[in-house]
Every structure is written in C-alpha cells, then in structure tokens.
C-alpha cells in the first residue's frame, strides 16, 4: 500500500514550491531606471545566500520526510519547515516593498514563497508529531 497520503502530498508540494522559490531568486527582480541589466533576487545583497540556504533546508527536509519509507522518525519536519519557510516570504516582501521597478521574478518569488508557506503550514496542521 502506498505511504503517499495527504501529509506526504502536502510536504511534497511545499518542498517543490520552496525549491522553485530558490530558483526564482535567480530571475530578474528589479530593473532600475537607466540600467540595462536587471538585478536578480540573489544579486540584490551579498547575504542572499542566507535565505536561500534556510529555504533549501526546509524544502529538502520536507521532501525527504515525504519520500522516505518511515519519514524522518520522530523529527517534527513539518513544524520545523513551517518555522523556516516564512523566511523566504519575509525576504521577498522586504525587497518587493522597497522598490518600484519590479520585474516578473519578484512577483514569481512572492507567489512561490506564499504558497510554500501555506503548504508547509497545512502539513504541520496535518502532522501528528507536533
């Protein structure tokens, strides 16, 4: 019998969306007036790797918990990921609200991070480990 129940589906969706957010960091987020090249989310500040690592860890944990036969044991993965995933949304919102010259990458990142937070949160509610 397949172990892929509601929790695993929610975890997988959260993991994929979190992973896509990491990719969206490398899309064009801004193009200020008079500049030919757009800035990516990762190129905005030198420490963009920090939210990238945090969201990547949350996504990998969710994915491993979803696909491994026994999950990650007693580790409350959805709870940990629900704690970590909003960091990506916060980072996106910080820069989205800071500038007017937005490009599609910033909106894509906003949608992906909000959806990743939603599915991680739903997995946390579904999970019985706490």
Partner 1 sequence: MDLQGISREKKELAAAACMLLFIISLFLKWQTFGVLSGSGADLGSWWLVVLIALAAGGIMAADALGMEIPLRRIAPSAVATYLMTLLVFYSVVFILAIDGIAYGVWLALVFSVVGLVLAYSLYRQDTR
Q: What is the 3-state secondary structure (H, E, C) of the chain?
A: CCCCCHHHHHHHHHHHHHHHHHHHCCCEEECCCCCCCCEECCCCCHHHHHHHHHHHHHHHHHHHHHHCCCCCCCCCHHHHHHHHCHHHHHHHHHHHCCCCCECHHHHHHHHHHHHHHHHHHHHHHHCCCC
Per CB under 8 A, the segment of 6-14, 29-37, 55-63, 91-99 that binds partner 1 is 91-99
- Of the residues 57, 60, 83, 126, which one makes contact with partner 1 according to CB under 8 A: 83
**In whole angstroms, how close is the CB of 90 to partner 1 at the nearest point?**
5
Residue 44 vs 66, nearer CB to partner 1 = 44
Give residues in contact with partner 1 (CB under 8 A). Answer: 45-47, 50-51, 83, 86-87, 90-91, 93-99
């Amino acid at each position: 019998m397949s172990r892929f129940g509601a929790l695993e589906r929610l975890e997988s969706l959260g993991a994929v969306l979190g992973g896509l957010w990491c990719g969206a960091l490398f899309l064009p987020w801004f193009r200020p007036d008079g500049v030919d090249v757009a800035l990516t989310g990762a190129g905005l500040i030198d420490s963009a790797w920090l939210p990238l690592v945090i969201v990547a860890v949350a996504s990998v944990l969710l994915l491993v918990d979803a696909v491994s036969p026994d999950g990650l044991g007693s580790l409350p993965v959805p709870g940990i990921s629900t704690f970590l995933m909003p960091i990506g949304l916060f980072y996106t919102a910080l820069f989205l609200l800071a500038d007017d010259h937005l490009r599609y990458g910033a909106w894509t990142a906003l949608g992906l991070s909000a959806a990743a937070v939603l599915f991680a949160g739903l997995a946390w509610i579904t999970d019985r480990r706490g």
